[in-house]
Amino acid sequence: MMKNILFITSTRIGDAILSTGLLSYILRTYPEARITVACGPLVASLFEGIPRLERVIPLPKQSWNRHWIKLWRQTVGTKWDVVVDLRNSAVSRLIRADQRFIYGPHINRADHKVVQNAAVMQVREADAQPRLFLTPRQMEEAAALIPDGRPVLGVGPTANWIGKIWPVENFMELIGQLSAEGEVFAGWRIAVFGAPGEEAIANRLYDSLPPDRRINCIAKGSPGQAAAYLARCGFYIGNDSGLMHSAAAAGIQTVGLFGPTNDTLYAPYGPRTALIRTPETFAELTGQSGFDAKTITESLMKNLTVETVAQGIRNQIGKHP
């Protein structure tokens, strides 16, 4: 008998990507089920390629939590076999369901987000490995922009907060060093990524690269389309961002750069990933009395040296040739 499953997930790209591991487990466990996903509008494109997708319900945030009332109205008429709610919303408790798995106080919030998601359904961490769900159109557009040929290094020099952006001059020096003859990315093409609104920094890096080797993936399409571009790369290096999590979920070698964000919760996840962080810990960068992220006007990543990152990348490639 066909089952109806409602999956309520995040509004942010990184958290949405990290939730795809639990969604993949659901698809394996309920092979005949039809899946409805409720998520933020920004991340809806990440779920369009799900097998047996019934629909994606985008939830623009509204004042007084009216977006949850909207979701209730769209779901209350269905008898759900399983509801999985990673947002701990009232909706999952106010609709008919045989089984409910809800993010709640039993979750250890000190664990990595993937581990937290796995705990919602009490499954093994290994069963909640994030993955991408790409549509045929997303893959076709990616192949057109990044055709087969020389391998591609994806680079994400931006983020949604200045404090966690490694200086773009460092990315320029790093790529120059690792693209030299005899180095690990010699002869590789370079794809530069950046979300809408982050073009200024990303374009500085793109403009510094040789025209015959650069690929412009800056603010091109939806997060789902960007994920398809990343899946065409052979290696990714970038700041802590949704792009980093998309690259890791694509299964390519991924190195994330961390400083004033919590790598315990948000390190790139997967067997071919690594993180390199500033000499200072997350607590040292953000734990001072009166720290306010909104007042930060420059990078807090300046003490992470190019040589440290370069050697970390060489070490990662040595582990996974």
pLDDT tens profile 7-16: 999 999 999 9
pLDDT digits (tens, 9 = 90+) for 30-53: 999 999 999 999 999 999 999 999
Residue range 77-81: mean pLDDT, rounded: 97
Which of 314, 47, 13, 16 is CA-nearest to residue 193?
13
Reported as a pLDDT band with limits 50, 70 and 90, residue 289 is confident
Which of 7, 106, 127 is CA-nearest to residue 55?
7
What SS3 state is found at 61? coil
pLDDT at 1 > cutoff 80: no
Mean per-residue pLDDT over the chain, rounded: 97
Torsion angles phi and psi, residue 59, rounded to 5: -120, 90
Q: What is the CA radius of gyration of the chain?
A: 20
Hey, what domains does the chain have and what are their CATH numbers? 4-128 (3.40.50.2000), 136-319 (3.40.50.2000)
What pLDDT is stored for residue 2 in this prediction?
Answer: 80
Reported as a pLDDT band with limits 50, 70 and 90, residue 320 is confident
pLDDT digits (tens, 9 = 90+) for 214-233: 999 999 999 999 999 999 99
pLDDT digits (tens, 9 = 90+) for 132-146: 999 999 999 999 999
Reported as a pLDDT band with limits 50, 70 and 90, residue 290 is confident
Q: Are 145 and 215 in contact (CB under 8 A)?
A: yes
Residue range 293-304: mean pLDDT, rounded: 97
Q: Rounded CA gap, 184 and 56, in Å?
A: 41
What pLDDT is stored for residue 221 in this prediction?
Answer: 95
Which of 44, 250, 49 is CA-nearest to residue 146?
250
Q: Which helix (H) or strand (E) holds 230?
A: helix 223-230
Residue range 290-295: mean pLDDT, rounded: 93
Residue range 103-116: mean pLDDT, rounded: 97
What pLDDT is stored for residue 288 in this prediction?
Answer: 87
Q: Are 251 and 230 in contact (CB under 8 A)?
A: no
Which of 109, 105, 129, 132 is CA-nearest to residue 118?
129
